[in-house]
Amino acid sequence: MRLAFFGGKGGVGKTTCSAAFALALAEKGYRTLLVSTDPAHSTGDLLEVTGGEQPVNVKENLWLKEIDAEAASDRYIREVKQQLQGLTAPGLWKEVERQMDFAAASPGAEEAAQFDEMVGTILEADGSYDHLVFDTAPTGHTLRLMSLPELMGVWIEGMIARRKKTQDLNRMLSNIAGTDVEPEDRVYEILQRRKNRFAAVREALHNPDVTSFYFVLNPERLSIVETEKAMNLLHKYGVPVKGIVVNRVLPKEADGVFIAKRREQERAYVKNIAERFQGISKIYIPMKPTDIRGLDSLRAISELLWEGMFNKR
């Protein structure tokens, strides 16, 4: 199973490009799940279907799943509470529950829950789909999400190491007490299970034969600068960036004094893109005269993506 992520600054056309790419894959016969992690969830509107947390069939070989960050966070906290309740002394439970509620509102909690949901989606989809295409949230949110495999891996390793020390102490106390029974450690089992889940997805995200990350940008200064910074961070985390999509380029047939001025400025930005992003595949999508909505209007873009670059991935 292959994974493709589309990221970039808010409003550059990530949803359109990810949906168009998913459509191209589906029409080439690949079973494709398009997953939206963007809280705006405009993917369903674009495809003219009602999305949800369970995959919804859009057309032959194409399904859509929209991850609800708030629902994922609630579910994540609820599951952690259930796991902890059986492991906590009854007299301490109210305080533990209160601390969990505080943690749910802390910065990063929603990303952690969304990452857990993304991990589950990837692991559960393996064998059912040929490709997963992710329409991600704006750049900052996505970078935090993509850094979590590394951060969560370190955190889990630390928790396991501390838990092992506790186990060793319990074992020593059992020996002193003259008991040979090894107490069942559910906490250790839970940590190991989560470690294995994170490790499997981390390995997939770092494997260029499995994962591809594509940045969508417009020929504008802020979009270019933000993309360059984001690419450098993804390289730092070992996530392979395969290409960039320069979206909404003024078509040659557009005319008028105002458009001519815009094109002159745009030409400088397009040149800047070529200079800044050397050695990486690029495709240019012309601006359309009308809004993109529905499979028919997406098809022209999907063909450009497929024929221009992504059939070589």
Sign of the torsion angle spanned by Cα atoms 230, 235, 240, 243: positive
- Say if residue 151's pLDDT is above 70: no
Model pTM score: 0.82
pLDDT at 173: 67
Q: Which of 57-66, 165-174, 194-203, 297-306 has the lowest mean pLDDT?
A: 165-174
Tokens of 209: 């034969």
Greater pLDDT, 81 or 281: 281
Counting other chains too, the contacts that 289-296 makes at CB distance below 8 Å and 24 or more residues apart are: 292/16, 292/46, 293/45, 293/46, 293/48, 294/46, 294/47, 294/48, 295/23, 295/47, 295/48, 295/58, 295/59
The domain ranges of the chain are 2-311
Tell me how crowded residue 108 is: count the other CB atoms within 10 A of its CB: 12
Mean pLDDT value across residues 119-126: 90
Continuous H helices in 132-185: 139-177
- Say if residue 312's pLDDT is above 60: no
Task: For 75-120, write each residue's pLDDT tens digit.
Answer: 877 877 776 676 666 777 787 777 777 766 666 667 777 778 888 8
Superfamily, domain 2-311: P-loop containing nucleotide triphosphate hydrolases (3.40.50.300)
Q: 67 vs 40, 112, 121, 122, CA distance in Å?
A: 10, 13, 9, 12
